[in-house]
Amino acid sequence: MPGAHRAPGGDGALSEPAILKAVGRSYPPTPPYEVGREHIRSFARAIGDDSLIYRDVATARAMGHPDVLAPPTYPVVFTQEAAEQVTGDPELGIDFDHLVHGAQRFVYQRPIRAGDRLSCVVVIEEAKSLAGNLALTLRTEVCGADGEQVLTEWSTLVVRTAGPAEREG
């Protein structure tokens, strides 16, 4: 995640109290992400999915869709960028070098299609201590240009807290 390594103007120190207080915080909508047909095809190829519904407009239309559909995991392309609002929030002090992706799930209201213009709103849904680390659950609401809800994504990020050697310097 570019630009998310350390909190700007800070020492990169994780602020667990600030993160716990931030539960429920909602970040501004992202600029629209335009879903391109060629990008869907490239993504499908990269994940090894050769389904024609991701590659061929005629097949997608024959199945009742206006254009090719995106594979179910495609939202990682733009929801990760939306999550940077949280990981790059200077108030939280998250150091990207101490961050790992724990889990992710999607609940769709409708498939993503080529031509969609999608915006994301990220909410810090939960934060809890977990085996000496901090687990953050982010909920990302993804809407089309007309405001139609397209999907909800939940992502769990695990932030390693500093161990004794790191705290001492």
Chunk the chain into consecutive blocks of 10 residues (it has 169) and report each block's average pLDDT, rounded to whole numbers: 41 74 96 98 97 98 98 96 94 89 96 98 94 92 97 95 54
pLDDT at 8: 41
Q: Is the Cβ–Cβ distance between 120 and 140 less than 8 Å?
A: yes
pLDDT at 163: 58
Q: Is the Cβ–Cβ distance between 25 and 124 less than 8 Å?
A: yes
CA R_g for the chain:
18
pLDDT at 29: 98
pLDDT at 127: 94
- The CATH H-level (homologous superfamily) assignment of domain 16-35+74-168 is Hotdog Thioesterase (3.10.129.10)
Helix, strand, coil distribution of the chain in percent, nearest 5: 25, 30, 45
pLDDT at 32: 97
Domain layout of the chain by residue ranges = 16-35+74-168, 36-69
What is the reported pTM?
Answer: 0.85
pLDDT at 10: 43
53 vs 44: CA distance, rounded Å: 10
pLDDT at 1: 42
pLDDT at 103: 93
- Helix H or strand E encompassing 164: helix 164-168
The distance in angstroms from the start CA to the end CA of the chain is 26
